[in-house]
Amino acid sequence: MKCLQFFPVIVTRYPQDEDHAPILEDEAQARVCNAGEVCDGDLILASFDDNGRSDYFNDQYPASGYAYNPTCICGVCCHLANHPGPVVVLAFWDGWCDPWPADAPVLIIPSEESRIQAKGSS
C-alpha cells in the first residue's frame, strides 16, 4: 500500500496567451506533489499562492536539484533562511537558485523516468 497526501489546491487551466510558453508535454500527466518529492527532470509548471490557487510560470522548466544553503549569496536563498522546515533547490540559473519549502505544493509533469519509478513502486 502506498500513502498518498492530498493538497487543498486549485489547478486552473493553463494560460493560453503570449506570456506563457506552450507546454510541449502531455498535460494529462500533470500532478501536484511536494517540492521535496520533485525529481531531476520533472517539468515544473506552477506554484500555488496562499489561497491554494495555481500560479503558472511564464515558461516551465526542468528540475535539477541542488542542496540548499541558507548562506548562499545568490539573493534568493536568503529569503528562506528562516523557514522553519526543510528547503529544497529545484533549479539553478546563471548565479541564482530556485529554493522552495520542501512541503510546498508544486504542479509538475513527471519525467519519463519518474513515471517509470512510480509505476514500479505502486
The alpha carbon of residue 7 and the mean position of all alpha carbons in its chain are separated, in whole angstroms, by 14
Give min distance, CB of 74 to Zn ion, in A. Answer: 3
Give min distance, CB of 100 to Zn ion, in A. Answer: 12
CB 53 within 8 A of CB 9: yes
Q: How many residues form the binding site for Zn ion (CB under 5 A)?
A: 4
CA dihedral 15, 106, 87, 85 (to 10 degrees): 120
Please report, as residue ranges, which positions from 38 to 67 form the binding site for Zn ion (by CB under 5 A). Answer: none
Strands (E), 17-112: 31-34, 43-48, 54-62, 87-93, 96-101, 105-109
Amino acid at 104: A
Q: Does 88 bind Zn ion (CB under 5 A)?
A: no
CB 106 within 8 A of CB 52: no
CB 69 within 8 A of CB 77: yes
Chosen residue from 11, 35, 72, 106 binding Zn ion by CB under 5 A: 72
Chosen residue from 9, 23, 74, 102 binding Zn ion by CB under 5 A: 74
Give min distance, CB of 76 to Zn ion, in A. Answer: 5
Q: Which stretch binds Zn ion (CB under 5 A): 1-9, 31-39, 51-59, 96-104?
A: 96-104
Give min distance, CB of 83 to Zn ion, in A. Answer: 13
For residues 97 to 116, the per-residue mask of contacts with Zn ion, x marking binding by CB under 5 A and - elsewhere, is x-------------------
